[in-house]
Structure 1
């Protein structure tokens, strides 16, 4: 009996030590934190001359997983290759000056270690990339089951592509969900506000690229309040674009969440979508196959920017989100 107890204790101790070692390794970072916010340039010529109008796009590409995003399924590489081509084909006709990306992989097992930012920048001929890492783990055991669907090694985040010089690129980590257990937060992405300072002739454009909390409304509201203050800290001096995936629908009779109203009710801030049309079905950005929810936005300061036209790019299933496009000029 004593031998059996000893054996069981040995097995339990071995399992516990193995689990602790796995947890430590899996939750550890694999990328240099000094490179979590970078500005990368290619050999392509920079645009420096001013233009009459400019085009900006925000697009949560959902790591090019199409409508399978976060589903517990095995994905073949051909899916990502095809969705990359779909995204390029959809974005290329706009010849945008700036594109803000969310949920973009730099070197993740789930998307076959392809640097999706580099692929898009090369295909769309952008000379500058500003990157911001928000998910860096040796191994992410999500979705929990089946094990073959685990994300595995993760290096993912946000990015801004620009034809004009980016002078500064800052990565601001937003408030975390406080009621998650520590072991979940160890494998959860950081929610970011990526702030880039872009030089356009005699103008400085501040572009704030956000990806807000998806699952916890109180945290999302706190993040939005911070982002609003961040916007206002620039908006009197510079033209500012605040764009990205807000994970929040516009206010309505059935949706009382105040997140988007924070921005709509602040004097001087305007949405690319006319406020009265925010709940119209044609403005839906999610899900991409049957878009009926608007959760991706472009906001700007009216004292420095004039919106000329906008649209949601439909019929593109490279992601579970749709891109939003705005053409604008400086005042």
Structure 2
């Protein structure tokens, strides 16, 4: 009798866990919309060719860390005021810069951890950038991270990468990069996808390709392979288009624990150059935002088709994220 009860309880527990796993690893965002091109009601000023001819374009790349500031992966309670204040700081800073293109990483659309605010829509409307290319990379009903306490779990997440543009977006694609093979299946099942988002923008009837990336943070061999994949994609597009490769590469030349640096793979491409010379990378740290020590975020461009005018870290944005954004101004040749 005791054995039957034990087996019944064990079976019920296994079934419950199986049902929970299936539900948790599913998501609420439709897969057919993972690479949407969206148009918001924001007024994109100065997009006609005559007004913009010869005018340098400005791009910002920003791992926005879902506006969680320095608390990004910490098991702490985050009040809504934290997100409201960080959103206001980002809007104020980026309005002053008035960028034409913004490439975001870690931007939430409907996540419990950030109070279910559509951050992409809020920023598009506030900054007057009506065109968006979206690439969903995290769509789970329940993410049990940070692991403890349970009250700190992220729970439901709809998040991704996005390119906002003053100019029309004509194409938008996502390539899911290699996962960490050594991780157990249940870990990968609730973890985000690492992406290369490829967005084609029409700049006064001239195409510009922006490749927006967010690479593996914790496993060096996987990040190496992801970087090789990104470089291959970028070099293919560079044969026909001016190309910018931007985002969070999660590799720094001044972190000894990293060993070999995966960012070197992108830097060795004959078709691309960095907005900041490699020997100056340590002079442009982007992480952590409070007292930056490491450059994890990069801007690469095709010098044959793009002329760089200026680049800098947008330090005045403060700690709205655990990263600082990068900015570059450029013209198409």
Q: Normalised by the size of structure 1, how large is the TM-score?
A: 0.95
Shift in Å, 1:6: 2.5
Aligned to 2:38: 40
Alignment map for 1:85-100 (pairs within 5 Å): 85-100=88-103
Aligned to 2:264: 261
Shift in Å, 1:249: 0.7
- Give, in whole Å, the separation in 2 of the partners of 1:215 and 1:258: 13
- Give, in whole Å, the separation in 1 of the partners of 2:307 and 2:186: 46
Shift in Å, 1:251: 6.7
Q: Residue 129 in 1 paired to residue 127 in 2?
A: no
Question: Structure 1 residues 294-303 or 193-202, which shifts more?
Answer: 193-202
Question: Structure 1 residues 75-84 or 45-54, which shifts more?
Answer: 45-54
Shift in Å, 1:252: 8.0
Secondary structure of 2:279's aligned partner: helix
**Could you list the runs of 5+ residues in structure 1 that have no partner in the other structure?**
none
Residues 240-271 of structure 1 show CA distances to partners (whole Å, capped at 9, x for unaligned) of: 00000000113788864232211222223111
Q: Residue 248 in 1 paired to residue 251 in 2?
A: yes
Aligned to 2:209: 206
- Give, in whole Å, the separation in 2 of the partners of 1:11 and 1:267: 62
Alignment map for 1:12-31 (pairs within 5 Å): 12-31=10-29
Alignment map for 1:115-264 (pairs within 5 Å): 115-250=118-253, 256-264=259-267
Question: Structure 1 residues 6-15 or 311-320, which shifts more?
Answer: 6-15
Closer/same/farther in 2, CA of residues 265 and 45 from structure 1, 3 Å limit: closer
Shift in Å, 1:75: 1.0
Secondary structure of 2:82's aligned partner: helix
Q: Residue 284 in 1 paired to residue 285 in 2?
A: yes
Q: Moved runs in structure 1, 4+ residues, more than 4 A?
A: 251-256
- State whether residues 287 and 293 of structure 2, in contact with CA within 8 Å, keep that contact through their aligned partners in structure 1: yes
- Give, in whole Å, the separation in 2 of the partners of 1:253 and 1:148: 35
Shift in Å, 1:8: 2.3
Q: Compute the RMSD of aligned alpha carbons.
A: 1.5
Question: Structure 1 residues 62-71 or 11-20, which shifts more?
Answer: 11-20
- Give, in whole Å, the separation in 2 of the partners of 1:252 and 1:72: 25
Closer/same/farther in 2, CA of residues 243 and 8 from structure 1, 3 Å limit: same
Closer/same/farther in 2, CA of residues 8 and 157 from structure 1, 3 Å limit: same
Shift in Å, 1:279: 1.7
Closer/same/farther in 2, CA of residues 180 and 254 from structure 1, 3 Å limit: closer
- State whether residues 171 and 193 of structure 1, in contact with CA within 8 Å, keep that contact through their aligned partners in structure 2: yes
Secondary structure of 2:315's aligned partner: coil
Closer/same/farther in 2, CA of residues 10 and 91 from structure 1, 3 Å limit: same
Q: Normalised by the size of structure 2, how large is the TM-score?
A: 0.95
- Give, in whole Å, the separation in 2 of the partners of 1:195 and 1:218: 23
